Amino acid sequence: MLEALFLLLPVAVAYGWIMGRNSLRSAQRKQSSILSNHYYKGLNFLLSDEPDKAVDTLIKMISVNNDTIETHIAMGNFFRHRGELDRAIRVHQNLISRDEISKKQEALALVELGTDYLLAGFLERAEGVFIQLLENERHFKIAQEKLFNIYQVTKEWNKAVELASRSLKVTPNDEHLYLLLSHFYCEQAIDLVADDKLDDAQNTLKKAVMVEGKQIRAWLELGKLAVKQEQYTQAMDYLSEIPKRDLDWLSEAIPLLEVSAGKTDNWDKLEKILEPYWQKCASSYIAKVNILARNGDLEPAIETLLKQLQNHPTMRGFKSLLSLYHKMLDDSRTQRSIDHLQGLIDKQIAQRPKYRCQSCGFSGRQLYWLCPSCKKWSVIKPIKGLDGE
């Protein structure tokens, strides 16, 4: 009897192996049948122009695991690129809600979901996602960039300052972050001025100078604020720092310098500030000529202006020349002709842009520190040439 049992043992093992194999094949056939069923349902929904149901079916069809995570992300990105953001959000939300995926894969899905929210205009949701990603070293940079974009759109400059300060602790040698923080302080200061909190605005602008002293915006805003507070001598001191850092922006400082000089009758100080730079742009040589004309030296003023126009012709310079001739002439008919010419020049100047982005070429008559087109800071400058400086 015992011998018979030993003889039957191999048979039992073989029988168990065959049954197990058949069971596995049965499970595979069942799974294949389910997938095939989902596939045909999804295809039918797409053909019936019911894409929402098709998305649900395809999500069920592809189980979430380490091998299919990229398929799900690719599916969501496909819908996003087609502009179907609601479906992209559903796919990426489905990923994050699963327990099967790893932390690394969850972070990838969060990046995509945050991008979906951002493009859909759900800025608060996008902010929440990217704040969460700040804790992930691998995705810190992209989260930081997206959050800066959100705060620039919503003009939440306090949050922008906080994020920039936090980011500098992570990457203290990032010069671009110092530039951003300086601009964010300036934006804060402008809001404070609007709320008539002038002392707080001045302190904030001084922070901007301390963060990035090479940038001219904080100095220009300090000059504007000092003029507003009727601190004209202080304004001239602030504005005199601008050409030392970036000569291209002297043209923005000169109108404020002329106002300050006029209020204090300190034209000598203005002339001293202009002396090293007065031949560098139209605004500076026109200011120099105006000082000469103010002293009654019309002929030297005209001679100086003519020389500058030969070397550096501009429409604004030509208008100033006509203005000087108008003062010298007594013939009323000629004066009327000059007035007519000046009016034509004014129309020409009014039609031309004053500023141009050095990055994307955007141009306009209003000064933007953040380019509306390429969304970069400190890339717009005054235009040079016949129609500009």
- pLDDT tens figures, 334-358: 677 777 777 777 777 778 889 999 9
pLDDT tens-digit readout, 300-322: 888 888 888 888 888 888 888 87
Kindly report the number of other CB atoms within 10 A of residue 207's CB atom. 18
pLDDT digits over 62-80, tens only? 555 555 677 778 878 888 8
Count: domains in the chain: 3
In whole angstroms, how far apart are CA 286 and each of 246, 252, 292, 319, 322? 19, 13, 10, 10, 12
Examine residue 250 and state whether it is found in any structural domain, yes or no. no
pLDDT digits (tens, 9 = 90+) for 108-157: 889 999 999 999 999 999 999 999 999 998 999 999 999 999 999 999 99
The Cα 100–Cα 229 span in angstroms is 63
pLDDT of residue 12: 44
pTM above 0.95, yes or no: no
d(CA 319, CA 302): 12
Residues 327 and 366 in one domain: no
As a whole number of angstroms, the distance between CA 134 and CA 168 comes to 13
Per-residue buried b or exposed e for 5-35, using 16+ beta carbons within 10 Å of the residue's own CB? eeeeeeeeeeeeeeeeeeeeeeeeeeeeeee
Please give the residue range of the domain that contains residue 378: 353-389
Domain CATH number, residue 324: 1.25.40
Residue 239 has pLDDT above 60, yes or no: yes
Q: Are 379 and 358 in contact (CB under 8 A)?
A: yes
Q: Are residues 49 and 62 in the same domain?
A: yes
| Residue 356: φ, ψ to 5° | -140, 140
Same domain as 371, residue 308:
no
Domain for residue 93, yes or no? yes
- My answer on whether 284 and 322 are in the same domain is yes
